[in-house]
Amino acid sequence: MTRWENYLAAAEKIIAEYDGSLPLHHFLKGFFKQHPYMGSRDRRHISQLVYSYYRLGYLYKDEKSVQERILLGSYLCKAEEADNFTIETPADIPFNKIFPWQEALSADINPEVFSQSFLKQPYLFIRTRKDKQEAIKKLLTRAEVIFEEWGPHTLALPNSTKIDTIVTDKSWYEIQDASSQQVGHLFHPNPGEAWWDSCAASGGKSILLLDKEPKVKLMVSDVRSTIISNLHMRFKEAGIRDYTSMVMDLTKEITLERRFDNIILDAPCSGSGTWGRTPESLSFFKKEQIREFQQLQQSIAGNVVKLLKPGGSLIYITCSVFRQENEEVVAHLENTTGLKKQEGGVITGYEKGADSMFAVRMS
């Protein structure tokens, strides 16, 4: 067998064994550990073939063999990366078949463009802090990294960039998707206000908020104590000390006396707006899960709004493209809490190599 035939065979074996229970990059790590004779070049080529296969989503799923789809995926991803300038793509490929649940998409998402966007890996984004954008640009240039400047605090980098080895002071930047950064436009903080980041995870939105207004009184919470430990570490690296934290399950009744001027609810969701980074999710997601996420979101949102001061704002965020998790949850809150949507909506990152999100401010 030639080297390429070996790669193809390894990719087929991985696809046959992979059941979606682990993220694909973890599974690949384990697979290569069991096959130590594969060098770094082999691992890179095989991984690329496997990812290209999953980037095809449902396209020709029942019509072509796994091997044919690996080869087609690989070809189409290369054409997409080259922006179709140098590689010709057959005209009759039904790209809209890649993403199968088009009728479930939020209204402002273009189904065809969204579907085809799976063929291209999104960028790695950093949000620069402390006026360090120019200094970071110099370091990137010195390291020969090709980057794009998307705004005064936003740089788009190739996905494989080892940013922590290039910019060693971690307080200069945060890794944060460009669409996630845009959510900050809905934060209108004033000094002294009480803010609650209710599903904070490791605190990406909180750091964005504090960079806008360091003098808010911030409380963070999440149901996972391990992720709150990560948040403490990340806040320390970012130079943030003044905040309170709690571990809370927000599906249960919340017994807290405090009330907040603003609540950020970056809700647990399907993550479908970020599947360009984890294209294997397309093949393993079940449509019924959308409804389960919606119920979870409505339950959490219904509980947290009870802690909002009169006239306060709820900023509801998902990284989902599904209407049921986005507009329908907002409509449910409008019907049940008296809050009304003030601004925001879908953030369509898929058109340009970023995640897609939904974010609205209600008060």
Ligand X SMILES: C[S@@+](CC[C@H](N)C(=O)[O-])C[C@H]1O[C@@H](n2cnc3c(N)ncnc32)[C@H](O)[C@@H]1O
Establish if 145 lies at the interface with ligand X (CB under 6 A): no
SS3 35: coil
Query: Among this protein's residues, is 269 annotated catalytic?
Result: no
Using the rule CB under 6 A, give the single segment among 187-195, 221-229, 334-342, 352-360 that binds ligand X. 221-229
CA angle 20, 26, 28 (to 5 degrees): 85
Provide the residue type at 158 as one letter: P
Between 8 and 201, name the residue whose CB sits nearer to ligand X.
201
Which residues, in sequence order, are bridge partners of residue 125?
A: 156
Q: Give the dihedral sign, CA 86/92/322/346.
A: positive
Helix locations, the chain, DSSP H: 3-17, 24-34, 40-55, 66-81, 111-116, 133-142, 163-166, 178-182, 204-212, 225-237, 280-284, 288-304, 327-337
Smaller CB distance to ligand X: residue 48 or 221?
Answer: 221
341 binds ligand X (CB under 6 A): no
Q: Per the annotation, does 266 bind a ligand?
A: yes
The answer to the question of whether 83 is labelled as a binding residue is: no
- Asked if 237 is part of the footprint of ligand X (rule: CB under 6 A), the reply reads no
Q: Which of 8, 46, 70, 200 binds ligand X (CB under 6 A)?
A: 200
Q: Which of 97, 92, 96 is nearest to 61 (CA)?
A: 97
Tell me whether residue 108 is annotated as binding.
Answer: no
Provide the pairing of β-strand 357-362 with 308-318: antiparallel
Tell me which stretch binds ligand X (CB under 6 A): 78-86, 165-173, 243-251, 330-338.
243-251
The answer to whether 193 touches 220, Cβ cutoff 8 Å, is no
Instruction: State which of residues 131, 249, 292, 351 lies at the interface with ligand X (CB under 6 A).
Output: 249
201 contacts ligand X (rule: CB under 6 A): yes
80 binds ligand X (CB under 6 A): no
Taking CB under 6 A as the rule, does residue 205 contact ligand X? yes
| Choices 108-116, 134-142, 201-209, 283-291; region in contact with ligand X by CB under 6 A | 201-209
**Distances 74 to 39, 41, 115, 159, 179 between C-alpha atoms, Å:** 21, 16, 16, 17, 27
What residues line the site for ligand X (CB under 6 A)?
199-202, 204-205, 222-224, 227, 248-251, 266, 268, 300
| Residues that are catalytic | 319
Which residues fall in the annotated binding site? Answer: 222, 249, 266
